[in-house]
Amino acid sequence: MAEVTIQSIARLNHNVFQYETDKPPGFEFEPGQATEVAILKDGWKNKKRPFTFTSLCDGDYLMFTIKSYPDHSGVTEKLSHLSVGDRLEIGEAWGTISYKGPGTFIAGGAGLTPFLGILRNLAADRNNTDANTLYFANKSERDIFCRDELGTMPRLTVHHVLSQEDKPPHLHGRIDKDFLDKNIADFGGRFYVCGPDRMVKDISEAIRALGGDPDSITFEE
């Protein structure tokens, strides 16, 4: 375990915050990995929750992009009230979502965060020539975060999908089997899926039903 100090906090939309901390000497992680985080305040030190690193692996700071749930009196809601200078405790890096080559990324809400780390590292790699596609599902346009950044990443095609609003040019509906069949021409490539458990299960099953290789689907196990 290591202690880090919050250096900056940025609000990305109405309920998503970006926290930047110092990076412990020798600390290493891979794009897509996460760690257990605890708030070093009375009553919160033992309430550890997993959050993904969204910073560059070779940077001199750590970054977490976290969706707050104000209706739950939990860690994410408490994090939204922290200030620069507050301290966190982090553990070792872990996780099974890793980049295995170009493909289609499908993210639901906060499920974008492991992909954000991967895509940022790919964008920063001048030797990278891989082309990828991202389908980012949210309920409404106000729920989208990092839209401008994602839209300017080289060799990344981004489609925003809204389930509760019909606002062109965004796509409308839910990412299900019919959506995938309509929007993806080739199921022979790689797929990366992250979001609510039910969404990941349903989309993974739909990809297999449409001819995708189960071994080509990467998700958090």
Clarify whether residues 213 and 122 are in a common domain.
yes
pLDDT in tens, 100-127: 999 999 999 999 999 999 999 999 999 9
Give the model's pLDDT for residue 214: 95
State how far the Cα of 17 lies from the Cα of 21, in Å rounded to an integer: 13
For residue 133, being part of any structural domain is answered with yes
* Gap between the terminal Cα atoms of the chain: 23
Q: What is the pTM of this model?
A: 0.95
What CATH number did the domain enclosing 152 receive? 3.40.50.80
pLDDT digits (tens, 9 = 90+) for 125-183: 999 999 999 999 999 999 999 999 999 999 999 999 999 999 999 999 999 999 999 99
Two structure tokens written together for 15: 């309920």
140 and 85 housed in the same domain: no
Question: What distance in Å separates the CA atoms of residue 217 and residue 207, rounded to the nearest whole number?
Answer: 8
Domains of the chain: total:
2
pLDDT at residue 69, as a whole number:
86
- Among 63, 90, 117, the domain-final residue is 90
Question: Model confidence over 35-90: pLDDT tens digits?
Answer: 999 999 999 999 999 999 999 999 999 999 999 987 777 999 999 999 999 999 99
- Among candidate residues 7, 131, 122, 113, the one with its CA nearest the CA of residue 60: 7
* CA-wise closest residue to 64 among 72, 80, 53: 53
**CA 219/CA 221 separation, integer angstroms:** 6
Task: Please tell me whether residues 134 and 209 are part of one structural domain.
Answer: yes
User: Which residue blocks in 42-153 are alpha helix, DSSP H?
Assistant: 75-79, 113-124, 147-151
Can you give the residue range of the structural domain that contains 183? Answer: 103-218
Same-domain check for residues 159 and 209: yes
**Is the separation of the CB atoms in 42 and 127 below 8 Å?**
no
* Same domain for 39 and 7: yes
39 and 47 Cβ atoms separated by less than 8 Å = yes
